[in-house]
Amino acid sequence: MFNTPHLLDQLVSLTGIRDLELLESSLLKTLNGFILPSVLTLYKVSSRGEIRSQLVFGPERCTVIRENFQVQPELMQAFREHRASEQGSLQLALADCILSVMTVMESRSSTTYLVIGSQQSLREEDNRMIGGMLQIYRNFCQLLQESQTDSLTGLANRKTFDECFSRVYELQPLDEEECAVAVEQRKPHQQTTYWIAMIDIDHFKSVNDRFGHLYGDEVLILLAQLLKNALRNDDLVFRFGGEEFVLMIRCQDRAEAAGLLERLRASVEEQVIPQVGHITISMGATEMMRNTFAGTLLDYADKALYYSKQNGRNRLTFFEDMESMGLATRETAPSENLDFF
């Protein structure tokens, strides 16, 4: 029999979390406490069958892997079979263990699978317990997602930006001992930087005035879709309200960030929207600095956006370029004794 009070304690802990990534780690920790598997991993797989990330449970912490995946061909085939079937669980016998594959979450763009490895097949009561916990997890995730997304576009909202701002640095943690979720380290030559970009639709008010707010909403929905399709797995996009959007992008350097944003600007300009025709966007961007408040970085990006608006629209401006031209100044960095993240 399961330890019911302990199970209830774990569920209370699970539903007290408001961060989806930490929620995944808590799910694995809870499951590990009851079934003690040899393997316990969450796989996020795109609709094209490509691995996006792995969350691997370990004795000290969970580890996020975002590249250089090592996945057995048999497991990839099991993912495809499980997605096509309606089975609750699919078992795969390997040389050293038996893997049980279950669907945790599913959307049009990706599916999250739970993979449990053990020396013997899971008991029926284990399967029932795991199935019940996954359903609780799904229900809670849906509530979290509804509170964290913009109802019109489906993008993350401003509240979510504030929560994600510090978490984005977990991709390169300063001190592994302070991280609840560890992330596989990159080699020095692969170190990345992060950039914030603010986006505003040019002459959006005239779209509403000429065609009505219904068409204005369609423009916002289409732009949100373009942004999501253009960005990579580790990039984040938010709607701040009105016609204003914010991106958090991970790039090797300034040149890569500029290239991505310019391609995005061009793709929006080329898009033909029924009745409305072509629209353009203006952008302002700045590098995310660890010793700078989120509000300050947003202010830098907003100043760069305003410069784009005042100088022809349909263009990208970096705050760093405004600095070099003497058009803007950076605030003095706060004391290193302050803890931002």
Active site residues: 243
- How many CB atoms sit inside 10 A of residue 258's CB? 15
* CA–CA gap between residue 73 and residue 159 (Å, rounded): 40
Q: Is residue 240 within 8 Å of 301, Cβ to Cβ?
A: no
3-state helix, strand, coil in the chain (%, to 5): 45, 25, 30
Locate tokens 């599913």: which residue? 106
Nearest of 101, 117, 122 to residue 37 by alpha carbon: 117
Strand order in the sheet with 62-65: 90-93, 98-106, 110-118, 39-46, 51-56, 62-65, 181-183
Backbone angles phi, psi at 200, to 5 degrees: -135, 135
Q: Tell me the C-alpha distance between 238 and 245, whole Å.
A: 6
DSSP-derived secondary structure for 254-270: HHHHHHHHHHHHHHHHH
Q: Which amino acid is at 85?
A: S
Report d(CA 101, CA 89) in Å as an integer: 6
Tokens coding 252: 């090797």
CA 53 distance to own-chain centroid = 11
Residue type, 92: L
